[in-house]
């Protein structure tokens, strides 16, 4: 009954320096320096292609536009997301780190605050990413969606704390200090 | 000498200190505390003593006057009296937020993995687990004439955007596996901001499915149920339909004025209150065992027995208040978690006893404070006296004490006074708000009741329910962004609802009107000369709920057509609607 | 030998399914600081003093100091002895630590002037057994003790009180709580305080909150001490938390001004977790934290990785480093509350082995804390041990003849203190005009295991009551009066005595706790005099008799029965 999950790849093609958007019905997806290259999946091996595909689907289903940027000079999730929010025409952004940690941000909020935060990257799967995209789009439209339900796992720490630290360090290495954010076109190709 | 008046209410105990010198009264201080135990029982001593001590602020009392408080136990129950049932999975009307395409598609329901062999106009039915890209691909490449689709996931727009020509698509159908296959069906989606025209019309359904007059009549409830939707699916099943069933919830037996009357609870509040009016003054009320109402009425009786020691058989329910309301409930047989607003009746009941143990309280208070203590008088009368200290009032005067346990009305004329008590209102309002908005959260419902609403439009401004905009220098907290909020003293608090500010406001005001205004009139009619409100000149509102930001105006509005001057009490010109009974006690004693 | 493709060994399958294989393990990355203690990137020890000032520290000139270097150089290190002691060969110092004949005072005198890199150099020469030997001598207080968490997934004050009472009865000297809903704090802190005094006299309580609120509760006497005042090993991470060593020291001073006990918290792994280890090993950075705490003048430190335990736990030798950081805190003459307080492994074996370096030699607080409620109710995101491990813990104490601060208590006694705690709290709430606690709730508290076993409370009313506590200025003395007025004389007396300590200031001394009889036990009057076999704290006499008791012990007198 269920079609086998397709394998897809994600390439982020640079379009130019990221500009502030003017259309009020857009959500900016802001990703960290190592996203899609060199990393290709989250800490629990959800492919980045699927992550972006689901977030875009959530936004598209709500009838809202999406624009993607890559942030180069920081790997701090709040900073990445807030940069996206300030460039977004609606003021709403979805920020992502390569390992999957995600947040929905808004341009008038303090940098260390957020609209919704998903701090336990091991607990995020395709379904949750779709809901995140959908909620971001609803915020952009001025609606008030119920926050995406978050799961909690006490044993997440023993299992994932060190791998998360390692992934974070690797991401940090990809930082290019001083480089401005770049607008990118997500190209998702099917491999199977 | 120092005289202290103490009013023990259901929720609060108030004390008023006065210094009486040669018949002249000088009020010296007031205090408020939570009533300890059930009103009218020895447990009240603690609260009374505490309130008196705080009001005295160091002075020594000579005499404490307590009101003749009789215990009041209140109860509240709600019965849902209707239910909606869809049979044979014949319709889907959950109105998802993002359907796809527009227009109407009529065809045979076929599962998406059988599209290749489908003939004629086809409606693709897609179960969970299918990716939207694959769905679009399958529809496009199967060669079938797909005129519409029904999806399990929230993918309608995604699928539509990937088709060569858009078709109407209804999504978020949780139980899509129950959609009958191989049957004639229709899917209709209206453009954004509009509603469907065909499937919500009986003749529309007749045209689509080629129905004869009998069949049209049979299918018309479906059309009615889908009115106002932006999208819908109807499947032509042999005898499927949607019914609105009344749920029998037992009878209520009301006894009074020498008569006994029975009324079905599912007949609705109006019928219940009309029956009640016929047996006024109420002697007793009982419900049927096994029902919510019956259980509640039995329980308030039991609680009163526990509190007073009076045998249950001797306890009487003195008042009931029934209010019609709606409760959002999941529809039986629905395929997508459809929710319908079912009718419900909320019933508040009040039981009193004449047996008072106030003398015990008085004795204990006297001992604790080292002074004399007396029972001063009946609440209603004392309340009126206290209310008379409001500037601008004169006899004849009626008071409405909107307290925690009951709503009390009393009238004072030159000939004397009379008083009456009806069932508690505040809790009922909260319950109505909670159920009609499906909040399932008493704290939020309370906040909606007490504070005005606003919509947070950005981090720096809110639009109040009256349309005015308020700006903030500091950004608002992130959890209120884009939400409907109540403007509490601690700041905006979110209301978990998808409704607009207007809708929530309407629910709130209706709930208050249905309860407070109706109850106020009922009570006043019972004390008014010849039962005529027109013969009341002045009505003063007292008690906690008189401090609500709109209840007084709702009551005043209800009274205005009867030519009554109605306003909030201002005891001593300084205390507002509080402390009337306590001051009244002092007053009455002085004038003896 | 033939290879069988695709066919798995049955044994492998069984091993794959073992809980330990759910834990996370990573390879070291020394350049980034993802390494426990053996890193080529840690600085070489060095120190230079000029005119009574340290002008070079571990290869850095003063002009290049970050604020941690500055603070350590100006406040932690003994300038008089620095150059001299840093010149002593590390192997000699390491042997002094291990050798029972070198006294604690002698070792401390040397340690006082050592730089962070030198301290690291010394402990790198020690294996885990040697670290434990040293710990035995270097802990500040002679008598070991233990600390527990008492929290509730529903922030239910009765649960917190009942479990606090049971924890106190079982032997914990300190109890810690925190909240899911911050506004509940006043009621839960009161519950911890009241419950804690019922189990036995002399228990100290804390409520982990945002700094300002925690300080206020402490000043009011609703809590007795504070612990979760965090410090970090690199300037960048410290600043990320909006603090500096000076701001933390100021906060410590605020507590001291009221005679309130407090300690800092630090732990290996926090800096690398936040991506800013500046290329240093976890232990090196932790040593900086320890010295910073020393320089601030606080009496003690909670360390042992704490909430970052998954990070050292994932690299080779990580638990050895954790044992070392506890030792170093003690070596620096600080009280050490030594971790074992955060969920760390799916494997029961690993949970125990991680705790042995603290349990066997004994520390000031072997756990900081043990979960005195089921882990599902633990609002610190789960501890290494919880209530279901009590019997195992007591058995291990008996097996190895070590004092881990706990003892077995029979059910009737436990039920009795739980009921008393719930009743006392019920009375206090009534006296203070707080939302009532029903008899049904008291009954539930006696027999309950977790928050699901208690009736739900009216949270709205509780929160209003909590606000009223703050608005009305309720203090610890009001709790004492309430307990006294309602007939709980003993509990009132216990609480008053605990509060009195802040006047005497005894709890400001290193490693101070109170015995059942309210005698302060600290490094001053219960100094650790370990000097080899036959000396120091020994589990013997009456205390040993107590620890021999377990739930089921067959009687020697009558083997058909059990010891009652």
Partners of B187 in beta bridges: B105, B233
**pLDDT tens digits, residue range C83-123?**
999 999 999 999 999 999 999 999 999 999 999 999 999 99
Q: Which residues of B touch C433 (CB under 8 A)?
A: 33-34, 50
Q: What is residue C1's predicted lDDT score, i.e. its pLDDT?
A: 46
> Active site includes C147?
yes
- Helix-helix angle C489-504:C185-199, to 10 degrees: 100
Of A112-126, B29-43, B87-101, C488-502, where does mean pLDDT reach its minimum? B29-43
Q: What is residue C552's predicted lDDT score, i.e. its pLDDT?
A: 95
- % residues pLDDT > 90 (chain B): 37
Burial B474-501 (b: 16+ CB within 10 A, else e): eebebebbbbbbbbeeeebbbbebeeeb
Q: What is residue B184's predicted lDDT score, i.e. its pLDDT?
A: 94
Q: What is residue C3's predicted lDDT score, i.e. its pLDDT?
A: 52
- Taking the Cβ of residue C239 and every Cβ of chain A, the question of whether any pair is shorter than 8 Å is answered with no
Q: What is residue C298's predicted lDDT score, i.e. its pLDDT?
A: 96
ipTM: 0.91
- Please state the three-class secondary structure of C439-455 as a single string: HHHHHHHHHCCCHHHCC
- Site of tokens 């600390």: C147
Write down the catalytic residue from C302, C338, C345, C426.
C302
CB contact (8 A) between residue A114 and residue B478: yes
* Phi, psi (rounded to 5 degrees) for B44: -70, -15
The answer for residues whose C-beta is within 8 angstroms of residue A64's C-beta and 6 or more apart is A25, A26, A27, A90, A137, A140, A141
Q: How far apart are CA B557 and CA B568, in angstroms?
A: 13
Per-chain mean pLDDT for chain B: 88
Q: For residue B131, what is the nearest residue in chain A, using CA coordinates?
A: A3
**pLDDT tens digits, residue range B286-313?**
888 888 888 888 888 888 888 777 787 7
DSSP conformation letters of B95-154: --S--BS-EEEEEEEEEGGGGGG--SEEEEEE-TT--HHHHHHHHHHS--EEEEEEESSS
> pLDDT higher for B296 or A2?
B296
Q: What is residue A2's predicted lDDT score, i.e. its pLDDT?
A: 44
Q: Which residues of B touch A109 (CB under 8 A)?
A: 459, 475, 478
**pLDDT tens digits, residue range A29-69?**
999 999 999 999 999 999 999 999 999 999 999 999 999 99
- Taking the Cβ of residue C39 and every Cβ of chain A, the question of whether any pair is shorter than 8 Å is answered with no
CB contact (8 A) between residue A160 and residue C311: no
CB contact (8 A) between residue B475 and residue A108: yes
The answer for residues whose C-beta is within 8 angstroms of residue B560's C-beta and 6 or more apart is B566
> Active site includes C552?
no
The answer for residues whose C-beta is within 8 angstroms of residue B185's C-beta and 6 or more apart is B106, B107, B108, B109, B123, B233, B234, B235, B236
Q: Which ranges of chain A would DSSP assign to H, the alpha helix?
A: 48-61, 77-87, 126-140, 156-173
DSSP conformation letters of B378-421: -HHHHHHHHHTTSTT--SSEEEEEE-SSEEEEEEEETTEEEEEE
Write down the catalytic residue from C39, C90, C136, C147.
C147
Q: How far apart are CA C408 and CA C548, in angstroms?
A: 9
Q: Which residues of B touch A57 (CB under 8 A)?
A: 132, 155, 158
- Give A162 to chain C, closest Cα distance, Å: 5
> Looking at beta carbons, which pairs linking A164-168 to residues 24 or more positions away fall under 8 Å?
A164/A43, A164/A99, A164/A121, A164/C273, A165/C26, A165/C34, A165/C269, A165/C272, A165/C273, A165/C311, A165/C314, A166/C26, A166/C27, A166/C29, A166/C34, A167/A39, A167/A43, A167/A98, A167/A99, A168/A75, A168/A97, A168/A99, A168/C273, A168/C275
- Give A157 to chain C, closest Cα distance, Å: 6
Contact between residue B127 and residue B150 where contact means Cβ atoms under 8 Å apart: no
pLDDT at B348 over 90: no
| pTM for the predicted model, two decimal places | 0.77
Partner B, chain C 356-415, Cβ-Cβ below 8 Å: none
Average pLDDT over residues C520-528: 96
Partner A, chain C 286-315, Cβ-Cβ below 8 Å: 307-311, 313-315
> Active site includes C227?
yes
**pLDDT tens digits, residue range C318-336?**
999 999 999 999 999 999 9
Q: Which residues of C touch A168 (CB under 8 A)?
A: 273, 275
Tokens of C53: 């000032």
- Closest partner residue to A57 (CB to CB) among B132, B460, B481 is B132
| Cβ–Cβ pairs < 8 A, chains A and C | 76
| Cβ–Cβ pairs < 8 A, chains B and C | 7
Write down the catalytic residue from C56, C166, C176, C214.
C176
Longest CA pairwise span in chain A (Å): 50
- Closest partner residue to A139 (CB to CB) among B129, B131, B482 is B482
Tokens of A132: 């995140």
Tokens of C11: 């044994």
pLDDT at C57 over 60: yes
Q: Which residues of A touch B129 (CB under 8 A)?
A: 1-3
Q: Which of C151, C285, C310, C321 to mutate to test the interface with A (most CBs of A within 10 A)?
A: C310
Of B259-273, B528-542, C262-276, C403-417, where does mean pLDDT reach its minimum? B528-542
Cis check for the bond before B396: say yes or no (omega within 30 of 0). Answer: yes
Confidence of residue B337 (pLDDT cuts 50, 70, 90): confident
CB contact (8 A) between residue C22 and residue A159: yes
Q: How far apart are CA B522 and CA C229, in angstroms?
A: 62
> For chain B, what is the radius of gyration of the CA atoms?
31
CB contact (8 A) between residue C382 and residue A160: no
pLDDT at A13 over 80: yes
- Taking the Cβ of residue B11 and every Cβ of chain C, the question of whether any pair is shorter than 8 Å is answered with no
pLDDT at B354 over 70: no
- Taking the Cβ of residue A113 and every Cβ of chain B, the question of whether any pair is shorter than 8 Å is answered with yes
CB contact (8 A) between residue B442 and residue C460: yes
Q: For residue C34, what is the nearest residue in chain A, using CA coordinates?
A: A166
CB contact (8 A) between residue C343 and residue A154: yes
**pLDDT tens digits, residue range B6-35?**
988 877 889 989 998 887 888 888 888 888
- Taking the Cβ of residue C433 and every Cβ of chain B, the question of whether any pair is shorter than 8 Å is answered with yes
> Active site includes C176?
yes
Q: Which residues of B touch A4 (CB under 8 A)?
A: none
Q: How far apart are CA A163 and CA C30, in angstroms?
A: 15
> Active site includes C174?
no
Q: How far apart are CA C285 and CA C234, in angstroms?
A: 7
Q: How far apart are CA B14 and CA B31, in angstroms?
A: 6
Q: Which residues of A touch C309 (CB under 8 A)?
A: 157, 161
Q: Which chains have 3+ CB pairs within 8 A of C?
A: A, B
**pLDDT tens digits, residue range B173-209?**
999 999 999 999 999 999 998 999 999 999 999 999 9
pLDDT at C50 over 70: yes
- Give B443 to chain C, closest Cα distance, Å: 6
Q: Which of C184, C431, C433 to mutate to test the interface with B (most CBs of B within 10 A)?
A: C433
Average pLDDT over residues A101-119: 89
The answer for residues whose C-beta is within 8 angstroms of residue B533's C-beta and 6 or more apart is B521, B524, B525, B559, B562, B564
CB contact (8 A) between residue A113 and residue B478: yes
Average pLDDT over residues C539-547: 97
pLDDT at A1 over 80: no
> pLDDT higher for C23 or C460?
C23
Q: How far apart are CA C64 and CA C201, in angstroms?
A: 51
Contact between residue A104 and residue A113 where contact means Cβ atoms under 8 Å apart: no
The helix/strand/coil state of C304 is coil
**pLDDT tens digits, residue range B87-142?**
877 889 999 999 999 999 999 999 999 999 999 999 999 999 999 999 999 999 99
Average pLDDT over residues B368-381: 83
- Give A135 to chain C, closest Cα distance, Å: 25
Per-chain mean pLDDT for chain C: 95
Q: What is residue B355's predicted lDDT score, i.e. its pLDDT?
A: 64
- Site of tokens 């604690």: C104
Q: How far apart are CA C155 and CA C178, in angstroms?
A: 8
C211 C-beta neighbours (distance < 10 Å), count: 16
pLDDT at C511 over 90: yes
pLDDT at C508 over 80: yes
Tokens of B267: 């007949």
CB contact (8 A) between residue A165 and residue C22: no
Average pLDDT over residues C411-421: 97
> Active site includes C80?
no
Highest mean pLDDT among A170-174, B150-154, B471-475, B538-542: B150-154
Phi-psi region of B565 (alpha: psi -120 to 50; beta: other; left: phi over 0): beta
- Helix-helix angle B426-436:B442-450, to 10 degrees: 110
CB contact (8 A) between residue B481 and residue A6: no
Q: What is residue C96's predicted lDDT score, i.e. its pLDDT?
A: 97
pLDDT at C2 over 70: no
Per-chain mean pLDDT for chain A: 92
Q: What is residue B511's predicted lDDT score, i.e. its pLDDT?
A: 92
For residue C484, the Cα-to-chain-centroid distance in whole angstroms is 32
Please tell me what DSSP assigns to residue B514: I
> pLDDT higher for B334 or C168?
C168
Partner B, chain C 435-494, Cβ-Cβ below 8 Å: 459-460
Confidence of residue B405 (pLDDT cuts 50, 70, 90): low
Cis check for the bond before B281: say yes or no (omega within 30 of 0). Answer: yes
Average pLDDT over residues A123-140: 96
> pLDDT higher for B293 or A84?
A84
Q: Which chains have 3+ CB pairs within 8 A of B?
A: A, C
* Residue of C422, C408, C410 lying closest to C457 (CA atoms): C422
Q: For residue B490, what is the nearest residue in chain C, using CA coordinates?
A: C467
**pLDDT tens digits, residue range C208-266?**
988 888 999 999 999 999 999 999 999 999 987 789 999 999 999 999 999 999 999 99
Could you give the angle at the alpha carbon of A75 between the alpha carbons of C228 and A64, nearest 5°?
110
CB contact (8 A) between residue A166 and residue C315: no
Q: What is residue B327's predicted lDDT score, i.e. its pLDDT?
A: 86
């Amino acid at each position: 009954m269920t079609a086998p999950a397709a394998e897809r790849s994600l390439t982020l093609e640079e379009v130019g320096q990221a500009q502030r958007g003017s259309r009020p019905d857009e959500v900016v997806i802001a990703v960290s320096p190592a996203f899609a290259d060199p990393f290709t999946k989250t800490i629990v091996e959800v492919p980045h292609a699927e992550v972006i595909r689901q977030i875009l689907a959530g936004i598209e289903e709500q009838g809202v536009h999406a624009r993607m940027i890559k942030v180069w000079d920081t790997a701090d999730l709040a900073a990445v997301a807030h940069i996206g929010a300030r460039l977004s025409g609606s003021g709403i952004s979805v920020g992502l780190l390569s390992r999957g940690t995600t947040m929905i941000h808004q341009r008038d909020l303090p940098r260390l605050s957020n609209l919704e935060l998903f701090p336990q990257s091991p607990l995020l799967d395709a379904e949750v990413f779709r809901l995140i995209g959908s909620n971001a789009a609803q915020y952009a439209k001025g609606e008030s969606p119920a926050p995406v339900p978050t799961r909690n796992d006490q044993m997440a720490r023993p299992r994932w704390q060190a791998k998360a630290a390692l992934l974070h360090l690797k991401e940090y290495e990809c930082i290019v200090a001083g480089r401005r954010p770049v607008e990118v076109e997500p190209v998702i190709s099917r491999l199977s | 000498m120092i005289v202290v008046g103490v009013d023990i209410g259901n929720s609060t105990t108030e004390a008023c200190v006065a210094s009486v010198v040669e018949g002249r009264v000088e009020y010296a201080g007031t205090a408020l505390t939570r009533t300890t135990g059930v009103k009218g029982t020895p447990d009240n001593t603690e609260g009374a003593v505490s309130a008196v001590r705080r009001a005295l602020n160091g002075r020594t009392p000579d005499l404490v006057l307590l009101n003749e408080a009789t215990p009041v136990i209140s109860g509240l129950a709600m019965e849902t009296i209707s239910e909606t049932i869809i049979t044979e999975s014949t319709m889907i009307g959950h109105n998802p937020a993002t359907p796809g395409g527009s227009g109407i598609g009529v065809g045979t329901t076929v599962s998406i993995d059988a599209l290749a062999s489908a003939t004629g106009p086809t409606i693709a039915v897609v179960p969970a687990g299918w990716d939207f890209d694959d769905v679009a691909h399958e529809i496009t490449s199967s060669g079938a004439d797909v005129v519409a689709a029904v999806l399990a996931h929230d993918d309608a727009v995604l699928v539509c955007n990937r088709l060569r020509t858009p078709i109407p698509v209804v999504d978020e159908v949780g139980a899509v596996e129950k959609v009958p296959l191989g049957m004639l069906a229709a899917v209709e989606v209206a453009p954004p901001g509009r509603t469907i025209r065909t499937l919500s019309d009986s003749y529309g359904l007749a045209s689509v499915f080629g129905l004869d007059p009998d069949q049209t009549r049979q299918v018309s409830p479906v059309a009615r149920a889908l009115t106002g939707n932006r999208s819908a699916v109807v499947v032509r099943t042999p005898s499927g339909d949607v019914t609105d069933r009344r749920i029998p919830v037992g009878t209520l037996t009301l006894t009074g004025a020498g008569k006994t009357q029975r009324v079905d609870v599912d007949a609705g509040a109006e019928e219940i209150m009309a029956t009640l009016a016929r047996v006024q003054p109420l002697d007793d009320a009982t419900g049927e065992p096994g029902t919510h109402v019956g259980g509640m009425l039995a329980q308030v009786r039991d609680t009163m027995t526990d509190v007073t020691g009076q045998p249950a058989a001797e306890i009487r329910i003195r008042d009931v208040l029934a209010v019609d309301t709606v409760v959002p409930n999941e529809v039986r047989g629905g395929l997508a978690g459809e929710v319908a607003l079912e009718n419900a009746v909320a019933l508040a009941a009040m039981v009193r006893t004449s047996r008072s143990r106030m003398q015990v309280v008085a004795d204990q208070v006297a001992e604790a404070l080292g002074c004399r203590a007396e029972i001063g008088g009946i609440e209603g009368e004392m309340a009126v006296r206290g209310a008379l200290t409001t500037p601008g009032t004169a006899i004849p005067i009626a008071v409405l004490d909107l307290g925690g346990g009951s709503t009390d009305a009393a009238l004072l004329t030159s000939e004397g006074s009379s008083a009456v008590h009806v069932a508690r209102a505040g809790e009922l309002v909260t319950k109505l708000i909670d159920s009609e908005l499906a909040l399932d959260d008493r704290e939020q419902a309370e906040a909606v009741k007490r504070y005005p609403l606003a919509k947070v439009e950005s981090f720096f401004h809110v639009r109040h329910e009256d349309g005015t905009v308020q700006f903030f220098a500091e950004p608002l907290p992130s959890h209120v962004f884009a939400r409907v909020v109540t403007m509490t003293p601690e700041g905006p608090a979110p209301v978990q609802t998808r409704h607009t500010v207007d809708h929530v406001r309407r629910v709130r005001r209706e709930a208050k009107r249905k309860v407070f205004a109706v109850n106020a009139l009922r009570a006043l009619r019972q004390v008014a000369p010849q039962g005529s409100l027109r013969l009341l000149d002045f009505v003063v509102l007292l008690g906690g709920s008189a401090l609500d930001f709109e209840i007084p105006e709702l009551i005043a509005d209800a009274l205005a057509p009867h030519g009554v001057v109605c306003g909030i009490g201002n005891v001593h010109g300084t205390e507002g609607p509080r402390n009337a009974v306590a001051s009244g006690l002092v007053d009455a004693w002085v004038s003896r | 030998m033939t290879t069988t493709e695709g066919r798995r060994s049955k044994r492998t399958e069984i091993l794959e399914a073992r809980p330990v294989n759910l834990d996370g393990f990573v390879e070291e990355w020394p350049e980034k600081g993802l390494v426990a203690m053996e890193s080529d990137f840690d600085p070489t020890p060095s120190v230079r003093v000029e005119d009574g000032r340290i002008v070079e520290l571990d290869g850095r000139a003063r002009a290049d100091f970050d604020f941690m270097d500055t603070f350590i150089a100006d406040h932690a290190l003994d300038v008089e002895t620095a150059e001299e002691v840093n010149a002593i060969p590390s192997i000699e110092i390491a042997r002094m630590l291990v050798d029972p004949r070198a006294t604690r005072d002698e070792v401390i005198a040397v340690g006082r002037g050592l730089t962070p890199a030198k301290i690291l150099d010394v402990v790198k020469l020690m294996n885990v057994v040697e670290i434990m030997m040293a710990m035995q001598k270097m802990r500040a207080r002679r008598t070991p003790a233990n600390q527990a968490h008492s929290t509730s997934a529903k922030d239910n004050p009765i649960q917190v009180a009942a479990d606090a009472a049971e924890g106190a009865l079982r032997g914990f000297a300190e109890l810690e709580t925190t909240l899911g809903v911050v506004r509940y704090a006043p009621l839960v802190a009161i519950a911890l305080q009241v419950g804690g005094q019922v189990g036995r006299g002399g228990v100290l309580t804390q409520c982990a909150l945002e700094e300002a609120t925690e300080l206020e509760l402490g000043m009011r006497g609703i809590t007795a001490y504070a612990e979760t005042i965090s410090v970090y090993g690199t300037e960048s991470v410290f600043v990320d938390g909006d603090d500096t060593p000076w701001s933390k020291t100021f906060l410590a001073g605020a507590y001291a001004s009221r005679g309130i006990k407090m300690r800092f918290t630090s732990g290996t792994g926090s800096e690398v977790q936040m991506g800013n280890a500046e290329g240093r090993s976890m232990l090196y950075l932790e040593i900086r934290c320890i010295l910073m705490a020393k320089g601030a003048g606080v009496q003690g430190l909670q360390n042992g990785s704490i909430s970052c335990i998954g990070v050292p736990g994932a690299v080779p030798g990580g638990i050895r480093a954790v044992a070392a950081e506890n030792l170093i805190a003690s070596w620096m003459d600080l009280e050490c509350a030594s971790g074992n307080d955060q969920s760390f492994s799916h494997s029961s074996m690993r949970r125990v082995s991680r705790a042995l370096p603290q349990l066997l030699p004994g520390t000031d607080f072997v756990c900081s804390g043990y979960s005195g409620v089921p882990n599902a109710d633990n609002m610190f995101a789960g501890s290494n041990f919880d209530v279901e491990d009590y019997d195992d813990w007591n058995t291990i104490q008996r097996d190895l003849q070590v004092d881990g601060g706990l003892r077995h208590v029979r059910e009737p006694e436990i039920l009795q203190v739980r009921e008393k705690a719930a009743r006392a709290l019920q009375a206090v709430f009534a006296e203070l005009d707080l939302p009532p606690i029903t008899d049904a709730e008291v009954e539930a508290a006696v027999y309950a295991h977790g928050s699901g076993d208690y009736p739900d409370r009216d949270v709205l009313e509780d929160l209003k009551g909590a606000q009223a506590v703050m608005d009305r200025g309720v203090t610890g003395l009001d709790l004492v009066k309430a307990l006294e007025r309602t007939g709980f004389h003993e509990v009132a007396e216990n609480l008053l005595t605990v509060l009195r300590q802040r006047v005497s200031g005894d709890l400001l001394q290193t490693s101070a706790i109170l015995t059942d009889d309210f005698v302060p036990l600290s490094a001053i009057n219960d100094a650790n005099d370990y000097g080899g076999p036959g000396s120091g704290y020994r589990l013997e006499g009456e205390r040993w008799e107590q620890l021999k008791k377990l739930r089921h012990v067959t009687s020697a007198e009558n083997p058909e029965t059990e010891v009652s």
